[in-house]
Amino acid sequence: MQISLRKRLFLSAIVVLICFLGVTGLALDRAYQDSVTTSHREALIGYLYAFLAASDVDENGLLNVANNLLERRFSLPGSGLYASVIVSDDSRQIWASPSLLGVELPSIPMLNTGVMSFSQQFNSKQEGFFVLNFGVAWQLNNDFIRYVFTIAEDLDRYQNEISTYRKTLWFWLGALAILLLVVQGLVVQWGLRPLRKVADEIRAIEGGEKDSLSGVYPKELSHLTNNINDLIRNERNHLIRYRNTLGDLAHSLKTPLAVLQGYFEQTNTDSDAKETASAQLWRMQEIVDYQLQRAAVSGKQTFNKPVEILPVADQIINALDKVYIAKQIATQTDIDAELKFYGEKGDLMEVLGNIFDNAYKWAKSRIEISIRANEQTDKRRPAIQITVEDDGPGIDREKINRITQRGVRGDEREGPPGQGIGLSVVQDIVESYSGELSFSETALGGCKVSIHFPAY
Amino acid sequence: MRVLVIEDEQNLRDQLAQKLRESGYVVDTAEDGETGLYYAREYPVDVAIVDIGLPKLSGVDLIKTLRTEGHTYPVLILTARSRWQEKVEGLEAGADDYMVKPFHVEELLARLRALVRRAAGVADSVVRCGEIEMDTHSQAVSVFGKELDLTAYEYRLLQYLMLNTGKVISKSELTEHIYEEDAERDSNVIEVFIGRLRRKLDPENEIQPIETLRGRGYRFNIPFS
């Protein structure tokens, strides 16, 4: 089973969207993280300078910080913004902001004077911080004391900002994806509409409502539809040509044969040679007949118009009523008026004509004909069941076997001459439609011919 | 009985005509549809044999034309193509029976007899009028169960009269239906034949089957039984 075009287009659209929007989202996310990190760094540097400005070291080497000059958050415990100062030489903390109460900062590296480092770090409890360290040297009594000033900020704010941003970002990207998929769906719908139209038209042709694909199609499809139209036309013309040629051939062959036959019948000498010649002549005529009819059988075709069965059956019954008027046969019919034969009208006529004619020929006074759809099917073309019963003498077993032998051509089915070829032709036509022909006995006393054309 | 054969194949036409004449028919032949239609309109035809594939005017069209013009005599079609489509078309156009070429002439003759009888309203191959019995197949006639010895002309005359029982038939009509075109047409001959026929049918003058209507013709007076 091939994946449908619609599914293919839809799946490829989804893949493209996922790749494109995914990469876009990731890039935007990354860029935003970078910019937020940078802004936090800038902020920390600002705090650092303010802190440096507010700090002073007295003669004893103690650090005095003018608290009132500092950002208020340094004074609030747990505010998330922290400051500390350590002496470089022995890592001794000489000052810590009140906010640092109960908070452990990641370990602080020793830095040379004037060196600034900024990074995201974690303490032993795996709490994350932005940490800005700055190496400072303070001159005291001709001596330099080196300190490391640290400003730290926990990641809560940063993470809030990022997650808010991510929510917004992915919401809008999702919305965009849905919008694009809807648009894509509409485009596919629109783009595939001509194909659907072709399918509808072909269905209409199969249903006999149309002769050809008549719609206007886009350039890419018009080649295809033109070809289909040619195919349909060719199929029909071919059949007509074929049949006309065969008809002419039949006509031109049969009249001379009839003359020959007449000649043999006129010759009064009653010799074996005449008998043999006459019998062979009949055999020849039957073979010609049979082959011509067989060749004219069209069989199941794709683009056939369906034929309404009832009018054809009525036509044949009326004709036969006329021919067999002297027999005064009561024909009872039960034919579904809606039923259609999806095949060639000529084939249907041959089948019905031959089996009805047989019934009329053998019946004493009654014939029952039934043509109905087999109901237990959901196929577009229902199965057709044809039965013809008569009250005649019934059909010869041997003949039935001969006729219904599968795969044996009518002219090869051995039998006495003069048996006629009608039922052989019927058998061939029925087979060409994958149908089945069978004979059985009937309550009427004669023969019951059943034909079953399968649904398809 | 006068039969019109419209068939374009000369051999077949000649054979048919010969066979039909041997069987006691008066035969007219035509070789194409137009001539055929002319004869069919103008001649006193009792039954016609029409080939479907005729030049100039097709058999089906010919029959249609005849029927719309009100000619009701039976028509048998000959068809080379044994497809049902063609048979049905011919019968729908107004033909009464069909035969597919090639055919046995004997069967054609039997069908013709049946058509002629059917046109007269008799289904059986034996026509009975009172005590007179005519077997159209063997062409034997018997009265009171005793077979008569009739000549071909007498048989034809009696068949025509019997199948038209109750109708007045003029001498010229009788002549047309039992004589070939070129045969001698002397109305006295008819009178002679009628006289012989009466003597053979009714030697005791009991049943008086054939009535003479002076100046108008003859009438067979015993209805079908």
Q: Are A73 and A20 in the same domain?
A: yes
Q: What is the pLDDT of residue B5?
A: 94
CB count within 10 Å of CB B181 equals 11
Write phi, then psi, for A223 (nearest 5 degrees): -60, -50
Q: Are A261 and A392 in the same domain?
A: no
Strand, coil or helix: A247: helix
The token pair that represents B152 in the structure block: 């071909």
Question: Confidence band (pLDDT; 50, 70, 90) for B12?
Answer: confident
Q: What is the pLDDT of residue A26?
A: 93
Nearest residue on chain A to B83, alpha-carbon basis: A350
For A131-166, how does the pLDDT look when each residue is reduced to its tens digit (9 = 90+)? 999 998 888 777 888 889 999 998 888 899 999 999
Q: What's the domain count of chain A?
A: 3
Residues A253, A266: Cα–Cα separation, whole Å:
20
Q: Does position A381 have pLDDT exceeding 60, yes or no?
A: yes
Please give the distance of CA A134 from its chain centroid, rounded to a whole number.
68
Q: Which is higher by pLDDT, B154 or A456?
A: B154
Question: Confidence band (pLDDT; 50, 70, 90) for A302?
Answer: low
Mean pLDDT of A3-15: 87
- CATH number of the domain enclosing A398: 3.30.565.10
Residues A153, A131: Cα–Cα separation, whole Å:
7
Q: Are A245 and A270 in the same domain?
A: yes
Domain final residue, candidates A160, A181, A206? A160
Q: Does position A69 have pLDDT exceeding 80, yes or no?
A: no
The token pair that represents B177 in the structure block: 């239906």
Q: Are A436 and A351 in the same domain?
A: yes
Cβ contacts of A354 on chain B, cutoff 8 Å:
84
A37 CB-near residues (< 8 Å, 6+ apart): A120, A130, A158
Q: What is the pLDDT of residue A124?
A: 84
Q: Does position A43 have pLDDT exceeding 70, yes or no?
A: yes
Residues B222, A206: Cα–Cα separation, whole Å:
63
Cβ pair A413, A437 in contact under 8 A: no
- CATH number of the domain enclosing A232: 1.10.287
Residues A24, A28: Cα–Cα separation, whole Å:
6
Strand, coil or helix: A143: strand
Q: Is A178 a member of any domain?
A: no
Contact B91 A319 (CB under 8 A): yes
Residues A382, A380: Cα–Cα separation, whole Å:
6
Residues B178, B164: Cα–Cα separation, whole Å:
14
Contact A262 B105 (CB under 8 A): yes
User: Which stretch of DSSP H or E encloses residue B123?
Assistant: none
Which candidate in B11, B78, B82 is best for mutational testing of the A interface (most A CBs within 10 A)? B82
Contact A323 B102 (CB under 8 A): no
User: Which stretches of chain A sit within 8 Å of chain B by CB?
Assistant: 247, 250-251, 254-259, 261-263, 265-266, 282, 285, 289, 293, 296, 315-316, 318-319, 322-323, 325-326, 328, 345-346, 349-350, 352-354
Mean pLDDT of B56-78: 90
Q: Is A206 a member of any domain?
A: no
Within chain B, strands assigned E span 2-6, 26-30, 47-51, 75-79, 97-100, 126-129, 132-135, 140-143, 146-147, 168-169, 210-213, 217-220
Residues B40, B42: Cα–Cα separation, whole Å:
6
Q: How many Cα neighbours within 13 Å face the side chain of A188?
A: 16
Residues B27, A223: Cα–Cα separation, whole Å:
63
Total-model pTM? 0.61
| Least confidently predicted of A148-162, A220-234, A250-264, A430-444 | A250-264
Q: What is the pLDDT of residue A403?
A: 64
Cβ pair B176, B2 in contact under 8 A: yes
Q: Does position A30 have pLDDT exceeding 90, yes or no?
A: yes
When the pLDDT of each residue in chain A is averaged and rounded to a whole number, the result is 82
Q: Is A168 a member of any domain?
A: no
A120: containing domain: 5-160
B153 CB-near residues (< 8 Å, 6+ apart): B178, B193
Q: Does position A172 have pLDDT exceeding 90, yes or no?
A: yes
Question: Confidence band (pLDDT; 50, 70, 90) for A289?
Answer: confident
The token pair that represents A60 in the structure block: 């004893």
Among A105, A81, A83, A107, which Cα is nearest to A94's?
A: A83
Q: Cis ω on the peptide bond leading into residue A106 (within 30° of 0)?
A: no
Strand order across the beta sheet in which B97-100 lies: B26-30, B2-6, B47-51, B75-79, B97-100
Q: Are A279 and A332 in the same domain?
A: no
For B114-173, how does the pLDDT look when each residue is reduced to its tens digit (9 = 90+)? 888 888 877 677 888 888 888 887 888 888 888 888 888 888 888 888 888 888 888 888
Q: Is A300 a member of any domain?
A: no
Residues B44, B28: Cα–Cα separation, whole Å:
10
Question: Confidence band (pLDDT; 50, 70, 90) for A196?
Answer: confident
Domain final residue, candidates A295, A318, A347? A295
For A389-427, how does the pLDDT look when each residue is reduced to its tens digit (9 = 90+)? 988 887 776 666 666 665 454 445 444 344 456 777 788
User: CA quadruple B140, B141, B144, B146: dihedral positive or negative?
Assistant: negative
Write phi, then psi, for B207 (nearest 5 degrees): -95, -20
Number of H helices, E strands in chain B: 8, 12
Mean pLDDT of A95-120: 86
Q: Are A428 and A327 in the same domain?
A: yes
Cβ contacts of B54 on chain A, cutoff 8 Å:
none
Q: ∠ CA(A135), CA(A136), CA(A141), 5° rounding?
A: 145
Q: Which is higher by pLDDT, A234 or A210?
A: A234
What is the least distance, in Å, from the CA of A324 to any CA of chain B? 9
Q: Are A317 and A234 in the same domain?
A: no
Q: What is the pLDDT of residue A131?
A: 92
Q: What is the pLDDT of residue A380?
A: 67
Q: Are A274 and A414 in the same domain?
A: no
Residues A401, A419: Cα–Cα separation, whole Å:
14
Cβ contacts of B123 on chain A, cutoff 8 Å:
326, 328
CB count within 10 Å of CB B225 equals 10
Among B176, B177, B211, which Cα is nearest to B194's?
A: B211
Q: What is the pLDDT of residue A377?
A: 60
Q: Which is higher by pLDDT, A394 or A268?
A: A394
For B167-199, how does the pLDDT look when each residue is reduced to its tens digit (9 = 90+)? 888 888 888 888 776 556 666 778 888 888 888
Please give the distance of CA A336 from its chain centroid, rounded to a whole number.
35
The token pair that represents A111 in the structure block: 């830095």
Q: What is the pLDDT of residue B183?
A: 57
Strand, coil or helix: A154: strand
Q: Is A193 a member of any domain?
A: no
Cβ contacts of B118 on chain A, cutoff 8 Å:
325-326
**Percentage of chain B surpassing pLDDT 70?**
96
Neighbouring-strand partners of residue B210: B220
When the pLDDT of each residue in chain B is averaged and rounded to a whole number, the result is 85
Q: Does position B2 have pLDDT exceeding 80, yes or no?
A: yes
State which of A42-46, A282-286, B207-211 shows the largest mean pLDDT: A42-46
Question: Confidence band (pLDDT; 50, 70, 90) for A40?
Answer: very high
Q: Are A67 and A99 in the same domain?
A: yes
Q: What is the pLDDT of residue A53?
A: 87
Q: Are A228 and A316 in the same domain?
A: no
Q: Does position A453 have pLDDT exceeding 80, yes or no?
A: yes
Contact B84 A316 (CB under 8 A): yes
Q: Are A330 and A400 in the same domain?
A: yes
Q: Does position A31 have pLDDT exceeding 90, yes or no?
A: yes
Q: Does position A112 have pLDDT exceeding 80, yes or no?
A: yes
- CATH number of the domain enclosing A87: 3.30.450
Q: How many residues does chain B have?
A: 225
Q: Is A107 a member of any domain?
A: yes
Please give the interface size between A and B, counted as residue pairs whose CB atoms are below 8 Å apart: 86
State which of A109-113, A372-376, B109-113, B152-156 shows the largest mean pLDDT: B109-113
Q: What is the pLDDT of residue A19?
A: 93
Q: Which is higher by pLDDT, A132 or A344?
A: A132
Domain final residue, candidates A118, A136, A160? A160
Mean pLDDT of A383-393: 88
Among B75, B42, B45, which Cα is nearest to B60's?
A: B75
Q: What is the pLDDT of residue B142?
A: 87
Q: What is the pLDDT of residue A164?
A: 94
Residues A266, A34: Cα–Cα separation, whole Å:
117
Which candidate in B85, B96, B111, B116 is best for mutational testing of the A interface (most A CBs within 10 A)? B85
Please give the distance of CA A129 from its chain centroid, rounded to a whole number.
56
Q: Is A317 a member of any domain?
A: yes
Q: What is the pLDDT of residue A171?
A: 94
Q: Are A156 and A9 in the same domain?
A: yes
Q: Is A115 a member of any domain?
A: yes
What is the least distance, in Å, from the CA of A438 to any CA of chain B? 21
3-state secondary structure A117-138: EEEEEECCCCCEEEEEEEEEEE
**Percentage of chain A surpassing pLDDT 70?**
87
Cβ pair A106, A122 in contact under 8 A: yes
